[in-house]
Structure 1
Amino acid sequence: MARKVLLIGGAAVAVAATVAGAVAYGGRGDDGGGAASALPPDTVAVARTDLEQAKTVDGRIDFAQRRPVKAPVEGTVTVAAEEGATVRQGQALYELDDKPVTLLYGPVPAFREMKPGDRGSDVLQLERNLVALGYGAGLYVDPRYDAATAAAVKRWQEDLNRTPSGRVGRGDVVFQPEEVTVVRADAALADQVGPDAAVLTVASTRPVVRAELDQADGALAAPGTRVEVTLPSGKKAAGKVGGTARPEDGAEPVGQDVITVEIVLDGGAAAARGEDTGVSASVRFVSERREDVLVVPVEAIVALRGTNGGYGLQVVEGSTSRMVRVTAGMTADGLIEVSGAGIAAGTKVGVARS
């Protein structure tokens, strides 16, 4: 958000005009100094405080990194995914043809059947999972699918009540980087599914807040932008923009002038625990912040005439006043940052009577 210093000139001139002609400055080099011929209608004290430029929009609690899980082989859903469930390493996401489809950890997708003689990064991450699940006896973790790998797979298959073939077929496992939350069951019990059909949609277990911004506020969507979220319960939680989010599958497309941002809460899962995801949250984006600065109401600023132009404050000292040139800075909530010689916290300056 751009600074608004240049936007206050018209308002300042209007205010100056109401001060009964006491601020007609501009002669003798227009340095902004000198005594005014009359006192202003009212005064206000210069204050020291923090300023923030912010924008508040509605948001909703969601989960990060939504993605569909598709069955690579045809089959019938015999146990559907449970919406809202957290699925961890070694647990079943769903069952196809009465066989569990197991979640394992790793970045490489399960793209083939794995069997003795195979080599690859998928084999390596399979072996790491076997060790983590307690089937690593006699297993040397490397990219080779050898007899020890097959033996470990058989032990694992027996515990899953599957035929101990020593091979991991396509569709037997799903690799994901970490534990997941089932945010939607796309296939119901008894549905026929195939390679092009999503069985379920998963996401990270890390809660986020999604909010929409206008393209004009695109600077607020930059990763790392600090936000304050008022959750549905009224509790406030700090967070930051993690990035933009792609539209969800099946969701109505938003206009090209809208950006969907994903906000990561500082407190992690605990920050949103127990919150009603069906109720909107309020998201306050802070685009700029100035700490411990001198401020006055915007109405106190006077536009100075003459070749030098600029801005001033009508400083009141007892029964007299004088114009002091100031540098105007950030504006927020009707206040503007000011600095200049002789301007300090408590200095009385003129304003129009409210």
Structure 2
Amino acid sequence: MRRRTGWLAAVALAGTAAGAVVITRGGDDARAGGPPAPPATATVTRTDLVRSETVDGKLDFANRREVTSPVAGTVTVAAREGAAVGRGQALYELDDKPVTLLYGPVPAFREMRPGSRGSDVLQLERNLVALGFADGIYVDPRYDRATEAAVKRWQKSLNRTPTGRVGRGEVIFQPDRVKVVTADADLADQVAPGDPVLTVASTRPVVRARLEPDDASLTARGTKVEVTLPSGRKEPGRVTGTVRPDDPEESEAAEDGITVEVTLSGGRSAGAEEDPRATASVRFVSESRENVLTVPVEAVVALRGANGGYGLQLVEGGGTRMVSVRTGMTADGRIEVSGPGIAEGTKVGAAAP
């Protein structure tokens, strides 16, 4: 569902204002036979103007990705959907052995043992330090005797046989803490190398919303957004990119639109205790002007003559006079104005309600 505010084209001003009055411009000040008394008046106010569009959105988590098993085995403890898993904790168990989450960008692509060298060894040692098992380790890409001893201490803490080696399928490296989105392999399932076991995502909450193609300007990174979460709580955020919907039905429906991902400014706690199945309201702010003078759009008059432009009919004492004004942004039925004699509280003519 889409709800627009503040999308009045400037060209509409002439048509709207014409419904009130069209003045032939012969000078700013009224003379004999000048503008008649207006049918209604309005007041110049100082406020913020915001152009926005509101659409429905869905609470989700960033960077969904599938985790596959590098080895064959039987799932003896399945992943727990919805669980947040951190460094040193088990994602699931295969053949009665925990598959442990460690942090790092390099995947676990081989067995690591004494004599191994590489970036995977370096990040293993960094994890051993973070978990408190790295006494005597010099953190580098070499798997030496100190590394072996630290691995044995870590394996004992997991009730594993302390081999001093880290075999394939014993650890999974991910960039950070993860949230288990789905368990793709159930208890007692047989998995082969490359079979999906679970789908994970970042624990950072995001909101995904669909925009029409003509709203492409709102998909730019950094576009400000205000999200009303299912609980009613409002959270600021920013557009961080466009994504392909995860649901095939949503993907098919979104072929003619653009799905954007919004990151909430409140971080991991922003989406806590929210119902992910409920709809959020996403308000995109395309433009804003702070602390500007505004009048109702229908108060602006189209001026005819050599210079044209727009004007306001000032109401002063028992008379009126027409002054030209510069117009700016429109939003929510009001328009930014500026010019000589225009100040907060000034009375101006307007069309009859």
TM-score by length of 1: 0.91
Question: Is 1:323 equivalent to 2:322 in the alignment?
Answer: yes
1:284 corresponding residue in structure 2: 283
Q: Is the 8 A contact 1:89 1:105 kept in 2?
A: yes
Change (3 A) 1:169 1:318: same
2:11 corresponding residue in structure 1: 6
**Structure 2: distance between partners of 1:270 and 1:158:** 34
Change (3 A) 1:192 1:8: farther
1:154: how far off?
Answer: 2.4
- Deviation digits for residues 189-208 of structure 1, max 9, x if unmatched? 12222333221111111222
Q: Is the 8 A contact 1:32 1:304 kept in 2?
A: no
- The alignment's C-alpha RMSD in Å is 2.0
**Structure 2: distance between partners of 1:147 and 1:129:** 17
Letter in 2 for 1:8: L
2:58 corresponding residue in structure 1: 60
1:140: how far off?
Answer: 1.8
Q: Report 1:237-316 matches (<5 A).
A: 237-248=235-246, 252-253=250-251, 254-316=253-315
2:92 corresponding residue in structure 1: 94
161-170 or 69-78, larger mean C-alpha shift: 161-170
1:52: how far off?
Answer: 0.7
Q: Report 1:97-176 matches (<5 A).
A: 97-176=95-174
**Structure 1: distance between partners of 2:345 and 2:136:** 78
Q: Is the 8 A contact 1:39 1:319 kept in 2?
A: no
**Structure 2: distance between partners of 1:68 and 1:251:** 19
Letter in 2 for 1:10: G
Letter in 1 for 2:119: S
1:280: how far off?
Answer: 0.8
**Structure 1: distance between partners of 2:7 and 2:230:** 31
Change (3 A) 1:228 1:166: same
Q: Is the 8 A contact 1:78 1:190 kept in 2?
A: yes
1:19 corresponding residue in structure 2: none
**Structure 2: distance between partners of 1:174 and 1:138:** 24
**Structure 2: distance between partners of 1:236 and 1:2:** 23
- Deviation digits for residues 267-299 of structure 1, max 9, x if unmatched? 223332222222111111111111111111111
- Report sequence identity in percent: 65
Question: Is 1:229 equivalent to 2:227 in the alignment?
Answer: yes
Aligned residues: 345
2:3 corresponding residue in structure 1: none
Select the residue among 27, 34, 38 that pairs with 2:30. Answer: 34
**What SS does structure 2 have at the residue aligned with 1:68?**
strand
**Structure 1: distance between partners of 2:345 and 2:145:** 83
TM-score by length of 2: 0.91
1:101: how far off?
Answer: 0.7
Letter in 2 for 1:149: T
Q: Structure 2: 5+ residue runs without aligned partners?
A: 1-5
1:79 corresponding residue in structure 2: 77
- Deviation digits for residues 112-149 of structure 1, max 9, x if unmatched? 22222221110000011112222212322110112222
Q: Is the 8 A contact 2:210 2:254 kept in 1?
A: no
**Structure 2: distance between partners of 1:195 and 1:2:** 54
**What SS does structure 1 have at the residue aligned with 2:323?**
strand
Letter in 1 for 2:30: G
Q: Is the 8 A contact 2:209 2:259 kept in 1?
A: yes
Q: Is the 8 A contact 2:23 2:301 kept in 1?
A: no
- Deviation digits for residues 41-67 of structure 1, max 9, x if unmatched? 111111111111111111122112211
Letter in 1 for 2:297: V
**Structure 2: distance between partners of 1:166 and 1:251:** 48
Q: Report 1:184-195 matches (<5 A).
A: 184-195=182-193
